[in-house]
Structure 1
Amino acid sequence: MAFSSFYFYHENKQLNTMLLLDRATELLLENRLREAEFMFKQVLKQNPKNGKALFGLGRICMRLEQYDNAIYYLKRACEHLPKMLDPLYALADAFIAVGSPVDAKTVLEYALSVARHNAQIHYHLGQFYLDHGFIDNAYQVFQKGLECPSSGVSIFIIFELMQLAPTNEIPALMEKLTEFEGKYEHPKFQIIAYHAFATAHQALGEYKEAFEFYDKANKLQLEQCEFKTADMVPFFNRLLETCNSDFFDKPIDKVKSTFTPVFIVGLPRTGSTLLEQILTQHSQVGSIGESIIISDKIVPYLEMRTERDFPECIYETTTSMLDYCRSVYVDEVKKNRVQEEAVINKLPANFQNIGLIYKIFPNARFIHLTRDFRANAWSVYSNHFAENEPYFCSLTEFQLYADIEQQVMEHFSSHLNKSIFHVSYETLIDDPERTIQKLLNFIYLKYEPECMDFYKSRSKVSTLSKTQVRQPIHSRSLTRWQAFETYIEKELGQLTPKKN
């Protein structure tokens, strides 16, 4: 009888733990973080070594950007879930977030050592190597990943190899890719496969076949988009109406920030990553990357306080609201451990936030990057963007988006001419040293020759330009689009070359 009661007690306790974990995981998926945290901690009260609860708390800390706490929980989770890779991936991400790529590398390489036949860990480690400029290491790891049992991630590995492998290895990779045809029904796998085939044909100089696959990839991705670029026109019209002469004539708060906020804005694929990499080699320039802090936190706060949508809400800001917005942005800079005199945010889409940024930081400097339209359009069209947004996967949609961006920038330039520096990608490529000298002067800094050694840096780059910026400046990207000129003209019609 005593044994039966003991068994029933522990069986009931175990069931209760499972129920708590399941419910906590559901809450986490619903982003109800505080409730999920409470339940995970209840589990740990019963068993301080429960790996799933520790992992859950680590994930919550990551979402709350409490990275030191995340590392604490994720380390313990890894100890008690030795056969699970996800806690190791999360721990590596946490180390990267606190600026410890060496520790992240150690974690990922350990994960590989315990799961050598897992293609996914090869992909994760390969991406880490790419992000930090270890191109040869990435190539080798991706090759080993293809030797693992096939899975969906194998298509992504082949896609990466198509961009890294020498030409003589391309046909074998194409043959390998055909083995996956029809195996994975989700559109994202097919889109990546199409892009991989397109990249391969382009590398082989087979431009007609390359365009056909780019066309297939982009048309399929366009089908996944839930809106059209034309749907954005009313928003941008409201933006220009809100940020009118009266808006800029209103007195602004005199603010003394401890750093100069620098925003690189414009269209995607105009060279923002290259420019960021060059500028951040300067001893007094740091970066928070493509931070979405303005649209993700500051705009929702203002909408809540003013009870008005963006952009109208920025017309109703008070001094206290702007002070709070300023503190939110400063906290973001601190979280990224950036202490330099000039702090870059290189999110191109911030061109729509220039009016708001000006109110928060009157001393902000804006670098507007432009590029030859056809070169720009082709660079977007021939690269795979994970986001299902129409202007990333349609030449005609991109043309409309480019027209909108040009109109918005002309509007803000008419009001903030002295705060906006316009520079073309072509000028940056043709005369980089002189261009950087002018840009540094624009952000109140003196030129340092080290800026031109940007390609030697091992700082993290996670954009589509991650491999290009590990090379000295070259002009190949200026004319790459010309091999597809006929196809571009067919899509867009006969256009007069222009700049946006």
Structure 2
Amino acid sequence: MDEVARSGSLKAALAQGERLLGCDPTAALEQAREILRIAPYQRDALWLAAAALRSSGNAVEAARVEQTAIDTSGQDPDLVRAGSAIGAGRLREAEHILRPLVHTRPRDAVAIRMLAEIAMQLGIYVEAEAGLRRALTIAPGFADARAALATALMHQNRPDEALEEFDTLLAADPGDARTTIAKAQMLGQLGEYAAAIECYDRLLQLRIDSPRAWLGYGNILKTVGRREGAIAAYRRALTLAPAMGEAWWSLANLKTWRFDARDIAAMQAAASDPSAQPGDLIHLHFALGEAYEVAREFEASFGHYSEANRLRRLSIDHDAEALTRQVSSGIALHTRTFFDDRKDWGDASAEPIFIIGMPRAGSTLIEQILSSHSAVEGTAELPDIPLLLQKMMVEQQGGSPLAYPEITARLGADAARAFGKDYLSGTRLHRKAGKPFFIDKLPNNWLHISFIHLILPNARIIDARRDPLDCCFSNFKQHFARGQAFSYSLDDMGRYYRDYVRLMDHVDQALPGRVHRMIHEELIADPEREIRRMLAALDLPFEEACLHFHENARPVRTASSEQVRRPINRDGVERWRAYEPWLGPLKLALGDLV
């Protein structure tokens, strides 16, 4: 107590310890220990002690003290409030709590990690990486920060570095289920499915019976077409955790699964439990919506779909009006004259084939058809275009800050070509088959079509279009792993569809013939005719294999994975009609499109 008392206050004692750290780590450590004798779990003193131990060369003891500081953070009221705000999607509120804390407590690796999480959720991965590296400089053994760093690196298309971070974690704890699952998920995103399955096999051989491991294992098996194995894995997860909403939804998301009465009763019981977590409830209600739809109990089904969407919307920050303004700005800026003035900009490669449009509009079916062609490789919903846009906005191209689409007016010919080359370089890691052309199937790239044209003027673009009511209701029934914030409200969804059609109509005028439109209902009605038309638009010869796409054994990651392994059928046509009594807000938002 003497040292603390002489300093006059805890704050002064900590400040004195910080000053000593630079010149006399031993004295700084003693100062921290004096504080900890009075307040054994004073977190700032723990961080000070850990820093002093590292400066003195005692890394083992430093790591122990750092872990104590990390564990203690769960009791800090400010960090608890910030964590709750992040979990609820109130990112600005969390940032307002955390930034002053990090300023006054620069060694608090947990607060820094939480700030980085906000950047991650906003998609600002460069900033997230910087924060996570800072946290790891303070606490090299901070496993959660290292796992997050791996994710941030992956989002920046740096998979080799990301895998190194996971391997560092697994070297310290080979049986760490969370890290193994995260590594396997990353390998799956890279298309390294055999390696991902090996990760799960190794973990399960260690008898680490983790529900999340079984869930992830099931997801990978589903992707590669091992349906029965996936079902068994999901069932094992539910044996271990009967209320695990995500496992129930994963079964429902097979789209060809049928729940029995016991399943429905188990889900109802889990959803009625007052202690159920919000994430489980969302998945349970989506799964129950699917179960009652199959049973043709449409009112009950819609009730569960509505509750699932209501709960999900609470944690989503979607501004429909802002999207409408963004589309209007793009229409005003990206005129035919705008594009004529920038003719032949960008990289000349014709390798990419973009499939854009609304989610649940048949884009996976189109990808499956095209990837059955000997010259075309299917990849995934690639993040590269949004990442390049983020890079462009960070660089700002000089002058005052602008957002997309206005920022494209500052793009020069050299920069457009460089961005095109960056895209081709970044997507190369997803290309495994060495074919001349590859597919980028991120539907939301419709919003960035002008940027795509500027940087890749010879890339092919297909607009996957589906009946607005079928398409929007199919989105309403779907719980997406990430993104698609517009899809959890019938009104938001109708506005989103209208903005999408409005922009694509403008593109048809400003860049006539640039986009080939594939109407889902026409493809179902006459597959050969529409497939021949599409291949001709892509300058590809017709191949019979494209008609037999369902025999293609390629991995498929999207919710339609089981559906595209069957011949074309009309199962999804006019499914909305059974729910028509409750779709008034959607029809109103769609307006004259219905």
Normalising by the smaller structure, the TM-score range is: 0.7 to 0.9
Shift of 1:198: 1.1
Question: In structure 2, what is the equivalent of residue 14 of structure 1?
Answer: 60
Say whether the 8 Å CA contact 1:392–1:398 is kept in structure 2. yes
- 1:354 alignment partner, one of 424, 449, 459: 449
Matched, 1:175 2:175: no
Question: In structure 2, what is the equivalent of residue 135 of structure 1?
Answer: 227
Amino acid at match of 1:136: E
Percent of aligned positions that are identical: 22
CA shift digits 1:43-64 (9 cap, x unpaired):
88xx9xx989986875565455
Matched, 1:120 2:204: no
Amino acid at match of 2:372: Q
Q: 1:102 to 1:445 in 2, by over 3 A?
A: same
Amino acid at match of 1:325: F
Q: 2: distance between equivalents of 1:448 and 1:118?
A: 45
Say whether the 8 Å CA contact 2:535–2:541 is kept in structure 1. yes
Question: In structure 2, what is the equivalent of residue 100 of structure 1?
Answer: 192
Shift of 1:241: 0.8
Q: In structure 1, the residue corresponding to 2:317 is in which secondary structure? A: coil
More moved, 364-373 vs 161-170: 161-170
Q: In structure 2, the residue corresponding to 1:262 is in which secondary structure? A: strand
Q: 1:295 to 1:56 in 2, by over 3 A?
A: closer
Q: 1: distance between equivalents of 2:485 and 2:192?
A: 36
Say whether the 8 Å CA contact 1:228–1:390 is kept in structure 2. no
Shift of 1:77: 3.6
Q: 1: distance between equivalents of 2:347 and 2:357?
A: 27
Matched, 1:322 2:423: no
Q: 1:450 to 1:56 in 2, by over 3 A?
A: same
Matched, 1:33 2:79: no
Structure 2 residue runs of 5 or longer lacking an equivalent are 1-52, 71-107, 117-126
Q: 1:229 to 1:157 in 2, by over 3 A?
A: same
Say whether the 8 Å CA contact 1:92–1:108 is kept in structure 2. yes
Task: Compare CA radii of gyration and give the structure with the larger one.
Answer: 2
Amino acid at match of 1:447: F
Question: In structure 1, what is the equivalent of residue 366 of structure 2?
Answer: 275
Say whether the 8 Å CA contact 2:156–2:387 is kept in structure 1. no
Say whether the 8 Å CA contact 1:118–1:149 is kept in structure 2. no
Amino acid at match of 1:492: K
Structure 1 residue runs of 5 or longer lacking an equivalent are 1-7
Shift of 1:68: 3.4
Say whether the 8 Å CA contact 2:309–2:476 is kept in structure 1. yes
Matched, 1:292 2:375: no
Aligned residues: 486
Q: How does 1:272-421 map to 2 (within 5 A)?
A: 272-302=363-393, 304-307=396-399, 308-337=402-431, 339-387=434-482, 391-421=486-516
Q: Which structure has more RCO (C-alpha within 8 Å, separation ≥ 6)? A: 1
Question: In structure 2, what is the equivalent of residue 483 of structure 1?
Answer: 578
CA shift digits 1:353-404 (9 cap, x unpaired):
1222211122122211211122112211122234575530222222222211
Q: How does 1:429-448 map to 2 (within 5 A)?
A: 429-448=524-543
Q: In structure 2, the residue corresponding to 1:475 is in which secondary structure? A: coil
More moved, 86-95 vs 310-319: 86-95
Matched, 1:263 2:354: yes
Say whether the 8 Å CA contact 2:376–2:439 is kept in structure 1. yes
Shift of 1:250: 0.7
More moved, 244-253 vs 200-209: 244-253
Question: In structure 2, what is the equivalent of residue 5 of structure 1?
Answer: none
- 1:156 alignment partner, one of 243, 246, 258: 246
More moved, 337-346 vs 51-60: 51-60
Q: 1:233 to 1:469 in 2, by over 3 A?
A: same
CA shift digits 1:68-103 (9 cap, x unpaired):
344455345434313311221233234335442112
Shift of 1:224: 3.1
Shift of 1:165: 9.5
Q: 1: distance between equivalents of 2:287 and 2:480?
A: 13
Q: 1: distance between equivalents of 2:174 and 2:428?
A: 33
Say whether the 8 Å CA contact 1:95–1:103 is kept in structure 2. yes
Shift of 1:11: 10
Q: 1: distance between equivalents of 2:209 and 2:177?
A: 13
Question: In structure 1, what is the equivalent of residue 178 of structure 2?
Answer: 86
Q: 2: distance between equivalents of 1:295 and 1:68?
A: 21
Say whether the 8 Å CA contact 2:342–2:413 is kept in structure 1. no
Say whether the 8 Å CA contact 2:378–2:438 is kept in structure 1. yes
Q: 2: distance between equivalents of 1:150 and 1:373?
A: 37
Normalising by structure 1, report the TM-score. 0.86
Q: 2: distance between equivalents of 1:200 and 1:98?
A: 33
Amino acid at match of 1:253: D
Amino acid at match of 1:15: E
More moved, 324-333 vs 284-293: 284-293
Say whether the 8 Å CA contact 2:384–2:427 is kept in structure 1. no
Shift of 1:40: 5.4
RMSD between aligned residues: 3.4
Amino acid at match of 2:292: H
Shift of 1:413: 0.3
Q: 1: distance between equivalents of 2:581 and 2:146?
A: 57
Question: In structure 2, what is the equivalent of residue 249 of structure 1?
Answer: 340
Q: In structure 2, the residue corresponding to 1:147 is in which secondary structure? A: helix
More moved, 90-99 vs 231-240: 90-99
Question: In structure 1, what is the equivalent of residue 518 of structure 2?
Answer: 423
- 1:207 alignment partner, one of 293, 298, 317: 298
Q: 2: distance between equivalents of 1:109 and 1:206?
A: 40
Shift of 1:66: 3.2
Q: In structure 2, the residue corresponding to 1:391 is in which secondary structure? A: helix
Amino acid at match of 2:416: L
Amino acid at match of 1:239: G
Q: 1: distance between equivalents of 2:249 and 2:526?
A: 33
Say whether the 8 Å CA contact 2:305–2:476 is kept in structure 1. yes
Say whether the 8 Å CA contact 2:188–2:220 is kept in structure 1. no
Q: 1:26 to 1:107 in 2, by over 3 A?
A: farther
Q: 2: distance between equivalents of 1:259 and 1:72?
A: 33
More moved, 89-98 vs 311-320: 89-98
Amino acid at match of 1:472: P
Q: 2: distance between equivalents of 1:299 and 1:179?
A: 44
Q: 2: distance between equivalents of 1:342 and 1:280?
A: 9
Q: 1: distance between equivalents of 2:147 and 2:302?
A: 45
Q: In structure 2, the residue corresponding to 1:263 is in which secondary structure? A: strand
Question: In structure 1, what is the equivalent of residue 323 of structure 2?
Answer: 232
More moved, 180-189 vs 234-243: 180-189
Shift of 1:112: 2.3
Shift of 1:480: 2.4
